[in-house]
Amino acid sequence: MPDDRSQDLDFLESTVGELDAELLGGPRTLSAHDLAERAGIDIDVVRGFWTTMGLPHADPDEPVYTERDADAIDRAAALVREHGLDLRTVLTVTRALGHTSDRLALWQVEALVEDMAGRYELDDTSARLLVLDRLASLAPVLEAQLVHSYRRQLAAIAGRYAAEFGQLRDPGPDRSVLPLARAVGFADMVSFTRRTAGLGSTDLSLFVQRFEAAARDVVSANGGRVVKTIGDAILFVADSAATGAVIALGLADALGKELDVDRETTTGGLFEGARGVTPVRVGLVWGRVLSRFGDVFGPDVNLAARLTDIADPSTVLVDEATAAVLAADPRFVLEPRPARRLAGIGSVAPVRLRSAEA
């Protein structure tokens, strides 16, 4: 007679099998060779597709793929045949999808686990098993929201491109310089390691969630875009220096004005801090960047990051060139600071940015 553990494993395997068929649209009956033959492409291209998606590829003769997988390969091949894209470009686009959807799926599933654990007072393992049981019914809703969000983001990018480049009739700037003029800013949490050292998983999760949610709200509400979050820091861009300055000041204000420093230094203060907000140091630079792989690159990005290293908590530092661009705007006050040497950059004369209203 099977024991309880054996029964549990059988139930789990059955649940995973049903979920697998639901998410993938049917049974795994096709091999990599089958996918290549259907799409009229080389087997190495099929293997490259799955590698760039961030998924393991099995033996080319093993039937581990579904009809939906075959459709995905066909669509990728069509980008080359019908739209003229270079294969390298197609793999780059595929890599972007794999990287982003991997993070998105994990992020959403972990959020569901946290919800189930809190709502039903479950331990972590039980919450994960409950999510597994309910994922098939939740997946269609999550998928629909993903497609909607993706289309809105594409429309937003198209609108920005039309506004920024639609009226250009000259060849544009020298191709030897970076293509995009952007305000680039970093907001870095103060004493992240100290503040989180004593936190359990729930408080740590709340701490990071509150920081990221508050920061994204400030950036989005003021017309900027979050490029990425890096644990205790957030990188954002804006299409004008003034917009970047408003965002930078908003971050310095929103992420710190409620902080009780005295309470933070007392026993249990770390846990109180997890329920509130934490101050940030902000660096902002108006310059030129390269946008690739969902990220931005260039010397001005590095300069913005280095400025956060020398900024005081809840303050914003800019470089001299950015200060010159902002100088005529009556909304801002600019206060030169003594020159500092920044790692990997050299001597920089930072300027503190303040709001004239303050």
The pLDDT of residue 319: 96
Tens of pLDDT, residue by residue over 349-358, are 999 999 998 6
Mean pLDDT of the chain, nearest integer: 86
Tens of pLDDT, residue by residue over 39-71, are 999 999 999 899 888 888 778 999 999 999 999
The pLDDT of residue 260: 45
Tens of pLDDT, residue by residue over 16-47, are 778 888 888 888 999 999 999 999 999 999 99
Distance of CA 249 to the CA centre of its chain: 22
Nearest residue to 112 via CA among 136, 88, 95: 136
Nearest residue to 245 via CA among 159, 327, 347: 327
Could you give the angle at which helices 67-81 and 43-52 cross, rounded to 10 degrees?
Answer: 100
Tens of pLDDT, residue by residue over 111-145, are 999 999 999 999 999 999 999 989 989 999 999 99
pLDDT band of 272, cuts 50, 70, 90: very low
Q: Which of 103-107, 123-127, 332-336 has the highest mean pLDDT?
A: 332-336
Residues 6+ apart with CB under 8 A from 42: 36
Residue 335: is its pLDDT beyond 60?
A: yes
* CB 16 within 8 Å of CB 136: no
Residue type, 89: T
CA atoms within 13 A on the CB side of 2: 8
Residue 172: is its pLDDT beyond 80?
A: no
User: Residue 179 gets which letter from DSSP?
Assistant: S
Rounded Cα distance, 113 and 96, in Å: 26
The pLDDT of residue 221: 92
